[in-house]
Amino acid sequence: MSEALINLAYLVASALFVLGLKGLAHPRTAVRGNLMGALGMLIAIVVTLLHKDIIDYKLIFTGFVVGGAIGAILAVKIQMTAMPQLVGLYNGFGGGASLLVAGAAWIETLTMAQAGDAQAMALLGNEQFSVATIASGIIGAVTFWGSLVAFGKLQGLVTEKPVRYSGEQVVKVVLLVGAIVLGVLLIQTPEHIPFYWYMVAVASVLGVLLVMPIGGADMPVVIALLNSYSGLAAAATGFVLSNNVLIIAGSLVGASGIILTNIMCKAMNRSLLNVLFGGFGEVAETAEEGDIYAGKIKATSPEEVAMLLETAQRVVVVPGYGMAVAQAQHAVRDLFNLLESKGVTVEFAIHPVAGRMPGHMNVLLAEADIPYDKLKEMDEINPQMEQVDVAIVLGANDVVNPVARTDPNSPIAGMPIIDVDKARTVIVIKRSLSPGFAGIPNPLFALDNTLMLFGDGKQMIQEVINALKEG
Amino acid sequence: MTDFVMILTIFVLAIFVGFEVITKVPPILHTPLMSGSNAISGITIIGAILSAGTQHTALTTVLGLLAVIFATINVVGGFMVTHRMLEMFKRKE
């Protein structure tokens, strides 16, 4: 197949990627969009296989079978609650592939140059090629190892708590500078390939150290950022190979990750630098907890909650990561169906950083068959909160803490929250009064209109359903 | 126009297209957006195919094979899991 035809096919693939992402603008068109993206990928792969320089297909197809089997099994078996770690893992593989391809391209070019190929010699001296190889190696390694650590944290293999030590920022800067210096050394002595691997090794350590200090509830930001890196690594590889489809696909993904990172940071009222380098969640200000809660906490029972719900017209459920941990989404769906059948309007208010990745709660609720038009964004539901009869907080804490609005010295000051405290009655389903990720007490629990239903989320919802059916 | 400037032009314009398209994705679809865009970043697979298939040296062939495996996990897994999620959103019309 001629070079021009291959490039035309790549153009078609790029257009399909753009159209595919465009399809994600609405749940109705999203399935088709994703299929268009997949078709684009298929076209790109098929024409690449027709490239005249390929002399052997055995290894390629071995790779397809092995990778395809692993990818497919993961995709089919994974539980929706574990989606954050799966996406984290995929990010890592993308970054890893980019760094391997860039390294291989360098070695191939070097071998050809040493055999006297003039074009390859020119390429080794070309800044686009060399700088892009280094960028791809560094970003790829950071993405790969950073993602593995994120996966470990989400899967519970590595501590979810922030791991901090004195001088950590200096260590990271030194590692980044060290990786770049090794890259420059590689450019100066292209035949000394170990420099590439030293650079990758240093960047790998950097990737691990970048994610280790980040705590569980900040994971949405990290996953989004690593998503962006995996795209940028692919784009850098595109510069290495002077390949347009890699550059276009990579920059689309890079842009997507940056937008999501930005949305997540705004939803916590923190800068990206603060999330990555700031110390959040380590200072537990529990001193005044006693004053806030003393004598003001009202515990309730599933029967009482059922009575409140019977007489309500409008109910809003605010889910958090706790709902995922308790696997309570199906019980919530049963409660939703029961209440709707009794003529109660039930909606879900979803905070952008609820859960461990962007959109995590929406996926869980969709899995449980909750219609997507019942899933409301924070900005949509907040102005209507005063008309809500009962707000049920299920496994969420910091994202409904009114301190964010009232106390400028609080670690979550200025963070947009779901204003459940404005509802007529608030029911908080929670095991205990323990603080959320921010490590601060939540005055919501002590409000006059708040009732605490202590217990496991799934079990409590189930008992409320039973009480409703009996009542 | 040099090759580099041309390729840089494509890069910058693609980022703008990305921003335009992706800001229109609603928050309820942010998880499928991440997994789907992730599958697209598996486009490195075409570089991997060339390294594994052209077999310049033993080392580049091995690197290429490993890269094909990594990228295929990304592509196949990414598109499949996205499809699985999107079907869940679709089914309640």
Burial profile A89-109: b = 16 or more Cβ within 10 angstroms, e = fewer: bbbbbbbbbbbbbbbbbbbbb
Count of alpha carbons within 13 angstroms of residue A101, beta-carbon side: 39
The DSSP code sequence of A19-70 is HHHHHTTSHHHHHHHHHHHHHHHHHHHHHHHT-TT----HHHHHHHHHHHHH
CB contact under 8 A, B76 and A44: no
pLDDT of residue A272: 83
Three-state SS for A352?
coil
Considering only CB atoms, A247 lies closest to which of B10, B50, B72, namely B10
pTM: 0.91
Is the Cβ–Cβ distance between A253 and B41 less than 8 Å? yes
Whether the CB of B6 is below 8 Å from some CB of chain A: the reply is: no
Considering only CB atoms, A108 lies closest to which of B25, B56, B81, namely B56
Residues with Cβ < 8 Å from A220, sequence gap 6 or more?
A84, A264, A353, A355, A356, A357, A358, A360
User: How many Å lie between the alpha carbon of A385 and the closest alpha carbon of chain B?
Assistant: 20
Cα distances (angstroms) measured from residue A215 to each of A102, A146, A163, A232, A358: 32, 13, 8, 24, 16
Is the Cβ–Cβ distance between A443 and A412 less than 8 Å? no
Please write the tens of the pLDDT for every residue from A121-158.
999 889 899 999 999 999 999 999 999 999 999 998 88
Burial profile A32-52: b = 16 or more Cβ within 10 angstroms, e = fewer: ebbbbbbbbbebbbebbbeee
Token code pair at residue A74: 């993961």
Is the pLDDT confidence value at B92 over 60?
A: no
Higher pLDDT, B55 or A38: A38
- ipTM score: 0.96
CB contact under 8 A, B77 and A70: yes
d(CA B48, CA B60): 10
For residues A361-385, give the mean pLDDT.
93
Active site residues of A: 398
Nearest-CA residue of chain B relative to A368? B88
Whether the CB of B92 is below 8 Å from some CB of chain A: the reply is: yes
Is the Cβ–Cβ distance between A137 and A183 less than 8 Å? yes
Considering only CB atoms, A55 lies closest to which of B54, B92, B93, namely B54
Token code pair at residue B78: 């990414």
pLDDT of residue A273: 81
Kindly state the DSSP code that residue A369 receives in the 8-state scheme: T
Token code pair at residue A155: 């899967």
Tell me which residue of A414, A150, A237, A453 sits closest to A328, measured CA to CA: A453
C-alpha angle A212-A213-A215 in degrees, rounded to nearest 5 = 95
Q: Which residues of B touch A91 (CB under 8 A)?
A: 38
d(CA B39, CA B61): 23
Is the pLDDT confidence value at A1 over 80?
A: no
CB contact under 8 A, B74 and A71: yes
CB contact under 8 A, A227 and B37: yes
pLDDT of residue A284: 45
- Residue of A28, A51, A108, A196 best to disrupt the B interface, most CBs of B under 10 A: A108
CB contact under 8 A, A41 and B88: no
CB contact under 8 A, A246 and B60: no
CB contact under 8 A, B90 and A28: yes
Token code pair at residue A102: 């860039």
Is the pLDDT confidence value at A26 over 80?
A: yes
Cα distances (angstroms) measured from residue A119 to each of A114, A123, A150, A186, B30: 11, 6, 41, 19, 44
Token code pair at residue A299: 């515990």
Whether the CB of B58 is below 8 Å from some CB of chain A: the reply is: no
Token code pair at residue A229: 């890196």
Is the pLDDT confidence value at A110 over 80?
A: yes
Across chain A, mean pLDDT equals: 91
Token code pair at residue B51: 């390294």
Is the Cβ–Cβ distance between A140 and A95 less than 8 Å? yes
pLDDT of residue A2: 82
pLDDT of residue A283: 47
- The four Cα atoms A13, A17, A22, A26 give a dihedral, to 10 degrees, of 110
CB contact under 8 A, B50 and A53: yes
Please write the tens of the pLDDT for every residue from A376-435.
999 999 999 999 999 999 999 999 999 999 888 888 888 999 999 999 999 999 999 988
Considering only CB atoms, A101 lies closest to which of B4, B15, B47, namely B47
Three-state SS for A344?
coil
d(CA A103, CA A108): 9
pLDDT of residue A281: 44
Across chain B, mean pLDDT equals: 92
Whether the CB of B22 is below 8 Å from some CB of chain A: the reply is: yes
Is the pLDDT confidence value at A331 over 60?
A: yes
- Residue of A45, A65, A79, A101 best to disrupt the B interface, most CBs of B under 10 A: A101
d(CA A408, CA A168): 28
**Residue A427 parent element (H or E):** strand A425-430
Nearest-CA residue of chain A relative to B23? A259
Please write the tens of the pLDDT for every residue from A148-201.
999 999 998 888 787 777 778 889 999 999 999 999 999 999 999 999 999 999
Whether the CB of B1 is below 8 Å from some CB of chain A: the reply is: no
pLDDT of residue A289: 67
Token code pair at residue A14: 């790029």
> How many percent of chain A have pLDDT more than 70?
97
Count of alpha carbons within 13 angstroms of residue A377, beta-carbon side: 12
Is the pLDDT confidence value at A285 over 80?
A: no
**Residue B53 parent element (H or E):** helix B45-54
The DSSP code sequence of A374-417 is GEEEHHHHGGGGGG-SEEEEES--GGG-THHHH-TTSTTTT---
Q: What is the largest CA-CA distance in chain A?
A: 87
Three-state SS for A202?
helix
Q: Which residues of B touch A29 (CB under 8 A)?
A: none
